[in-house]
Amino acid sequence: MNSWTMRLIIVNAAIFILTYAAPGLENAMSLIPAYMFVQPWTIVTYMFMHASLGHIFFNMLALFFFGPRVELELGGTRYLLLYFISGFMGGILSFFFTPYVRIVGASGAIYGVLFAFAYFWPRERIFIWGIIPIEARWLVVAFTAISLFGGLEDAGGIAHFAHLGGFVGAYLYLKLVDRRIHRAQLMAEAAPIPVARGAAERWAKIDREKLHVVNREELDRIRMKIATQGVGSLTSQEIAFMDRFSEGL
């Protein structure tokens, strides 16, 4: 699993355990949008608070599945910005619609990661409960509809507008960086990138069975690209990916 995704999961889990040891932290770290200017730190800390074991489990499960691939695509810095901007926008949108409702959870940030996944791989199939297949783009549409309906109905004690804010934050951020990403990709395609001597032999030794399933798919894709287009066709990101998993081989 990629480094920042793992760190986010560890921090969320650690804070969840800490709040049980020190219950008073919940009031200090959760967000009441109307008071965010009085307690400005809560617009960040609320993302690391969770109401129950089920709440944190499903949030971290979603981050585990969607985070690594998005992090690989964006890189660590942009990935963290996506995560926090999405969570931040979740709090901002809640300020306008549910200003006095206490909010906790990483859902807004993780909805942003889900949106980014659908943005880059809209037709990727996701299996709900491991059974029901749905394309990533339609999953975002479905979650948007559920959050809109739930928010307007004020049902279930769920921070629906925080979820919608996560989508909004991710959309705005990805549009902001989209030109730079595509420009970098075009430059990478236009100019061949030198590959270190012996790199191809070292890459061939990568054991795909030891990788996360998402990284296996990326490894298979890059190996197929090398087989059909040659090592010189790889982008700097693809070379960095192969080098990362072949270190020490």
Residues catalogued as catalytic: 107, 163
Pick from 78, 107, 81, 108: which is nearest to 93 by CA?
108
* H runs (alpha helix) in the chain: 3-21, 25-29, 42-45, 53-74, 76-97, 107-120, 136-153, 160-190, 199-204, 213-229, 236-245
The alpha carbon of residue 106 and the mean position of all alpha carbons in its chain are separated, in whole angstroms, by 11
Torsion sign (Cα): 228, 234, 238, 241:
positive
Token reading at 161 = 């507008």
